[in-house]
A and B are shown apart, each in its own frame.
Chain A
Amino acid sequence: MKKTTVQNYVAKKDVLLEVKGLKKYFPIEKGFLRKVVGHVKAVDGVDFYIKEGETLGLVGESGCGKSTLAKCVLRGIEPTSGEVKFRLNGDMVDINSLGRHELRAMRQHMQMIFQDPFSSLNPRMTVLEIVGEPLVANKLMTGKELNDRVAYLMEVVGLEAKYLKRYPHAFSGGQRQRLGIARALASNPKLIVADEAVSALDVSVQAQILNLLEDLQEQFNLTYLFVSHDLSVIEHLCDRVSVMYVGKMVELAETDALFKSPKHPYTEALLSAIPTPDPEVIMERIILPGEIANPSAPPSGCYFHPRCNYAKDICKTQEPSWQEVDAGHFSLCHFAKELALRGADIQAGDGDAGSRDDTLQLPVKSDYKSKVKT
């Protein structure tokens, strides 16, 4: 029943990627015979879709399965079960049923940006080889055409084309991340999966890369699946956000709805834990007791119940179902409709040094010139 609601909500033709019941269990092997004694349920039955031109944020703490999910979407790792459908020329193609060669051709349309700009670029390849690799691998371009395309891509991401023959070590962290983005753009993909793409960067560089990602989305009509643990980055960039906890999606909603009125206690706690960059705001923080559950031996019932302030008896025994609380707002909680949860303290322009532009205006340059002359 729940799946029909998903389908009703979406006008089918807009959907670029549709994921149904996706699972990835990693076996735990023990002993000499490598007997399988259990499974780490990294991704445990996830349903969602992404519309064309949209940015879906995926947020959660380390170990919740967000990176595994991102890789499963591209079939970078083989999922245990489930469907991943990608729209190509009007047809929904199930990626998990493709053969090796078909999958390879498919990858032109879906690319990935990685977290660590230092380990994701081969130090023995030049920029031309790195950025051009998707084109060479898919036999799309060679020779001068390839050269020109890579030079163009470099300019698109804000690097100078004259650096084509350099090796990655000659670039800074932010520049390397730009190279990673250029490589992802090379084959003109529709979907880009960005796994913690700005997490390793300094704040000032992070802002540059976030702006670049937004510009590129507009320019090339890209669709992003943006994985991050940083809620303020997610809020800045994403149209819709989904929250993961121990392999399951616990909430999915439009960004504003999720931040203003969360429908899952975990989201509430996560929002309250964001440090506010303003010393005058005193946050009432929800400190979660205990630690994130072990995905190989999750608790009974609702996985979140041992840490949940609102848990009742039913939460210990019965698994909650994925229900649509408001239009397009899904939650995995028995009491999603009853609970009145607190969102992030959003008071536009208040207590926010950056937005208080009137008080923050730097004196204009000419003022200083006159000051200097006097």
Chain B
Amino acid sequence: MVDTILEVDDLKTHFFLDEGVLKALDGVSFHIGKQETLGVIGESGCGKSVTARSILRIVPSPGQTVGGTAKLFSDGGASRDLLKLKPTGEEIRAIRGKEISMIFQEPMTSLSPVHTVGDQIEEAILIHKTQDKKEAHQFALDMLDRVGIPNPKDLSKAYPFQLSGGMRQRVMIAIALSCNPKLLLADEPTTALDVTVQAQILELMKELQQELGMSIMFITHDLGVIAEVADRVAVMYLGRVVESAPVKELFRNPLHPYTVNLLKSIPRVGRGRGKKLQTIQGTVPIPINLPQCCPFMARCEQAMPGVCDKAVPALEQVAENHSVRCYLHHENNEVAST
């Protein structure tokens, strides 16, 4: 197995609301290898984005990370637990943007409207790399050039509203990659873009990954994009990873009923018209005061009364590199039923 760069174990982030405790993340575990792309997929509200934010310790209030570990390994093999660091402390700020950086979904709202594009790239460089403004400026121009922005000199003086969506996302990528991070958290980086622009951006990210040798955690709800970019996939449902496998294995041999149905519910080019899409009954519940049973049980066609409603199934390895959180595939589910 490849060397690990990030290992997240039993991550729990809860939001303390008036209505009760919303368990956005309730025991998320995964790891990302060096130069690997981990795809994280799930529907809205499953905790994909909160996972990325928890790792960087930028969970918005009233959210709090209440448990678990997130170990970031350095080249020497030493590790730091990001969750132990103070969210406003020096240490995590040295990591943000330098070792781990993030691309957000909406390039319009995540760029500052009152600073030029060039200034926004320089900001990160000045914090982490150099104090020399001229050098930083030159570096910013190089970055813009690298992400395929034509005429970087002029465009570095432009404000975000003057750029198109695709260009803005390129700027976001330039900012994120300006300090050669080891790990890039990409939260739905292409969701707001058109397909032809999406193709451009995915191509660019692949190129840059090879060039810079970084690891990527790619969050999306689009199974087509996942199939394209990911090496390994983690499927999330209601704040937990329910299945994790290498991408080919997951698409060829999905085990969790949620994954199976998700794969069947997308319309595909070439499947032909008129055939009904398979749907998943019901909707995703709000994770407040959920009973201690399999979270997918209410929507699952294979739910086994007396087994699935007893306890939350564990994420168990069922084949090499293939883990699933479902009693249907656990060896010893008879133990649970007795």
Contact of A236 among B167, B261, B267, B302 (CB under 8 A): B267
Q: How far, in angstroms, from A355 to B221 measured CA to CA in the complex? A: 20
**A1 nearest CB across to chain B (Å):** 33
Interface string of B195-223 (1 = CB under 8 A from A): 11111101100000000000000000111
| Residues of A in contact, count (CB < 8 Å) | 65
Cβ contacts under 8 Å, A62 to chain B: 165, 194
Cβ contacts under 8 Å, A354 to chain B: 263-264, 266, 268, 271, 278
Cβ contacts under 8 Å, A287 to chain B: 196, 199-200, 203
Is A326 in the interface zone, CB < 8 Å from B? no
Q: Are B248 and A269 in contact (CB under 8 A)?
A: no
Q: Are A229 and B194 in contact (CB under 8 A)?
A: yes
Given contacts A277-B224, A372-B333, contact A204 B199 (CB under 8 A): no
Q: Are A277 and B223 in contact (CB under 8 A)?
A: yes
Is A155 in the interface zone, CB < 8 Å from B? no
Q: Are B302 and A203 in contact (CB under 8 A)?
A: no
Q: Are A344 and B269 in contact (CB under 8 A)?
A: yes
Q: How far, in angstroms, from A238 to B274 measured CA to CA in the complex? A: 9
Contact of B262 among A204, A280, A360, A362 (CB under 8 A): A204
Which of chain B's residues 33-49 have a Cβ closer than 8 Å to chain A?
Answer: 43-44
Q: Are B269 and A231 in contact (CB under 8 A)?
A: yes
Closest residue of A by beta carbon distance from B227: A279
Which of chain A's residues 114-152 have a Cβ closer than 8 Å to chain B?
Answer: none
Cβ contacts under 8 Å, B257 to chain A: 362
Q: Are B268 and A205 in contact (CB under 8 A)?
A: no
Contact of B270 among A239, A270, A344 (CB under 8 A): A344
Q: Are A276 and B227 in contact (CB under 8 A)?
A: yes
Is A255 in the interface zone, CB < 8 Å from B? yes
Is B76 in the interface zone, CB < 8 Å from A? no
Closest residue of A by beta carbon distance from B226: A277
Is A161 in the interface zone, CB < 8 Å from B? no
Cβ contacts under 8 Å, B138 to chain A: none
Is A274 in the interface zone, CB < 8 Å from B? yes
Cβ contacts under 8 Å, A278 to chain B: 227, 251
Q: Are A61 and B254 in contact (CB under 8 A)?
A: no
Contact of A237 among B194, B230, B273, B304 (CB under 8 A): B273
Is B247 in the interface zone, CB < 8 Å from A? yes
Cβ contacts under 8 Å, B314 to chain A: none
**A129 nearest CB across to chain B (Å):** 24
Please tell me which stretch of A9-17, A206-214, A327-335 contacts chain B, meaning at least 4 of its Cβ atoms lie within 8 angstroms of it: A206-214
Q: Are A279 and B267 in contact (CB under 8 A)?
A: no
Which of chain B's residues 268-286 have a Cβ closer than 8 Å to chain A?
Answer: 268-273, 276-280, 283-284
**A245 nearest CB across to chain B (Å):** 11
Is B292 in the interface zone, CB < 8 Å from A? no
Greatest chain B CB density within 10 A among A273, A280, A348 is at A273
Closest residue of B by beta carbon distance from A283: B228
Q: Which B residues contact A (CB, under 8 angstroms)?
A: 43-44, 164-167, 194-200, 202-203, 221-228, 230, 247-248, 251-254, 257, 260-273, 276-280, 283-284, 301-302, 304, 306-307, 328, 333-334, 337
5 examples of A-B residue contacts, CB within 8 angstroms:
A62-B165, A207-B279, A210-B267, A276-B228, A372-B334
